[in-house]
Amino acid sequence: MILNTELEYKGNLFPTQIVKYEKNLNVLSFTTKNGVILQVTVRRDSILRFRFTTTGIFENDFSYAITKYASRGYNHLEVTEDDNHYIITTSKLICNISKQDLRTSIYDAVDKSLICEDELGFHWEESYEFGGDVVKMSKTAQPGESYYGLGDKPVDNNLKGKRFENWVTDSYAYGRDTDPIYKTIPFYTALHNKKSYGVFFDNTFRSYFDFCHERRNITSFWAHGGEMNYYFIYGPDMGDVVVNYTDLTGKPHAMPALWALGYHQCKWSYYPESNVKEITSKFRELQIPCDAIYLDIDYMEGFRCFTWSEQHFPDPKRMVKELADDGFKTIVIIDPGIKIDMDYSVFREGLEKDYFCKRADGPYMKGKVWPGECYFPDFTNPEVREWWADLFKELVEEIGVKGVWNDMNEPAVMDVPGKTFPNDVRHDYDGNQCSHRKAHNVYGMQMARATYQGLKKFSYPKRPFVITRAAYSGTQRYTSSWTGDNVATWDHLNIANLQAQRMCMSGFSFIGSDIGGFAEQPNGELYARWIQLGIFHPFCRTHSSGDHGDQEPWAFGDTITNVVRKFIELRYQLLPYLYTAFWRYAEEGVPILKSLVLYDQKDPQTHYRNDEFIFGEKILACPVTGPNQKGRRMYIPIGRWYNFWTDELVSGGQEIWVDADLDSMPIFVKEGAIIPKYPIQQYVGEKTIEELTLDVYYKVGNEISEVYEDATDGYDYIKGRYSLRNFKFQGKEKEIIIQQHKSGKYITTYKTFRIHFHGLPFKIKEIEIDNVIIPFEELRFKGGTSLKLTKEFTELHIIGE
């Protein structure tokens, strides 16, 4: 006889006292009286992993986010105990674990200062609807603590006082503070007392972060299922936190081809072929550099993926070759929805092989997307990913497409509540079968991964190029991305700047926005200002909805066309500088864009700055983000910086007014920098580079600059066929010494440098190259203060009068 039909809601549950401790090399296990186990893994001296189970058993330890190439190892590990704590000590950290309730507090091992401590710590609540737990963690916010990161959130850089949800969502025409949107990157960096640490919550369920929003001095994160599984990453430099997180979740598997860093043009949609050719011809006629043209969904036959419209594109192979002959790489869109049509070979094959997602009770997951009713491949199944990769053979190997753009892969489903799959859809999850609640946030990532595998296979020996809209932590290994369906407003120009900075400090640097806005129509001034920002984003593409009018560089009259051309040309001149920054990102995980707080965390003035950012290592940029402006106020970081346009030298640590008419924007170069430049090209590879320009910015003191080059495509650079030039600049009152060290086996096509000096406070009297005095007139270029000399020099010594 049932006496009580009410569920017993237990509310929050907590670990009790530790009754057992075990050590297995670098894995330390703590078991409590009520069956909770905390597993602490010491991955590095500065990285600790905390993993909890409430059942006494851990699930299979599997993560799509963590790369197998992540660095491991530590210099010191010691575990001791006192009456109240177990104490884990590495060379960087001291972690105290309470014997009473598993709460942790973490200290700097050098100066013993508190970095981070639990408030309630780990706790959980039973999930009666789905089973399992809602897992929770709360930590005490330290005085003056600030928070950054979390991917593409369209908010100010400093996240303090806000709450966020992580659930990958198709958010057409999202606005400031819209949440959630396209990406889930559950990683944040915190900063207090000039020290920084990061937390990566590797849980793919719907999760939340609260940065002192609900309770003023508490930051917390929780998820609707799965494990409390997070990594604590200590700096104390914020740059090291981001680098170590990027190492953990993966750096790009390959450098992009140099053309992928050029300017790209896109629209929904360019068709038929005559329209595509009209657009590409106009670029060449107007001498506006462009490397890639995009085909949106209308290139397909009835929106069926991997097909071509016979009416609009009767001979795609010929067209793609003709475009390539003119310097244009063709990029095509591929969505996850496969039209239900037995006459369509991709659908038929997927059905026969049972590759589509199913509902919990067995029927296929059916949803409406562009082709109508569709089934959806389960990209969390490795066999399905392999099948999907092989589908690119015709597009890439036979027709010659150079890149693929994955869209709608949140996954987006039309005309249903929630705009995505229902929670009960089942997934393979690489052998860890689960529901869509767990797989949703990684669905787009795994589609991009499968696409990348296909392009890598069929583009060989060239490098693959993939773009994705949806992403989870680690997606940066495979693909570039953009910030989704934004709007042609001034506020969205501002948002695009914030999102690109935030993605870069979340380990995902190959990022850009739809320049000019996807929805609605910009005026010429807004488009020009957006181009000025966009040329400093690693991925640089104009994209728009055709419903709202034309958005090509020439669509707004000659004045705007000239401004746009000027800045796209600047992008192409700076390609060796950007390529070098990308090499540092791919090699070391250093973000390509740095918010000012990431650049100089010790300066409290940077902690709430949003507009200014560092591009690479040496260039400071700040977009003009309002109409009818002839300039703007901006903060100059500590140090001394040259105005890019005027060579005026300004001292940092202050906010100043900077003039910037429509044909200009605030750009500054760090003193002592050596900036490499190529000649303007209409597309990468149009010209053989016969000379490398080096812009040298004088300072009293030392500075190091680098230039990385390779064949611009292919994989020879992995075998050592690259050229890395390290320039050491030493400036004194009346002399300059530039020492060059080159490594790598790649021989560049140019034999000479053209060196331009900026801010030189003296007249050149004498020049020595490798201890040989050379008359100034022999090196002087066209009567100015520029020098032309061999690229092989080891030491250039310039002596002034």
CA-based nearest residue to 454, from 334, 338, 580:
334
The answer to whether 22 is a known catalytic residue is no
> What 3-state class would DSSP assign to 476?
helix
CA-based nearest residue to 264, from 244, 254, 279, 275:
279
**296, 410, 617, 671: which one is catalytic?**
410
Residues 6 or more apart whose Cβ sits within 8 Å of residue 486: 173, 174, 492, 495, 496, 513, 514, 517, 518, 519
Q: What whole-number distance in Å separates Cα of residue 136 and Cα of residue 448?
A: 30
The answer to whether 801 is a known catalytic residue is no
Positive or negative: CA dihedral 384, 388, 391, 396: negative
Residues 6 or more apart whose Cβ sits within 8 Å of residue 647: 758, 759
Name residue 23's beta-bridge partners: 28
Cα-only R_g, the chain: 28
Alpha-carbon distances, residue 22 vs 25, 28, 31, 86, 656 (angstroms): 10, 6, 9, 11, 58
CA-based nearest residue to 637, from 652, 658, 650, 622:
652
Whether the link from the prior residue into 627 is cis, omega within 30° of 0, is no
**227, 298, 407, 569: which one is catalytic?**
407
Write down how long the chain is: 801
Q: Are 70 and 140 contacting, i.e. CB atoms less than 8 angstroms apart?
A: no
The answer to whether 485 is a known catalytic residue is yes
Q: Are 409 and 441 contacting, i.e. CB atoms less than 8 angstroms apart?
A: no
**45, 156, 210, 485: which one is catalytic?**
485
Return the axis-axis angle of helices 558-573 and 575-588, rounded to nearest 10°: 50
Token representation of residue 676: 């490499």
Token representation of residue 113: 């200062």
Q: Mind giving me the DSSP string for 42-80?
A: EEETTEEEEEEESSS-PPP---SSS-TT---B-S--EEE
Q: What whole-number distance in Å separates Cα of residue 663 and Cα of residue 668?
A: 16
Q: What whole-number distance in Å separates Cα of residue 311 and Cα of residue 271?
A: 10
Q: Are 400 and 317 contacting, i.e. CB atoms less than 8 angstroms apart?
A: yes
- In this structure, which amino acid lies at residue 181? I
Name residue 192's beta-bridge partners: 195
Q: What whole-number distance in Å separates Cα of residue 384 and Cα of residue 353?
A: 9
Q: Which residues does the annotation mark as catalytic?
A: 407, 410, 485
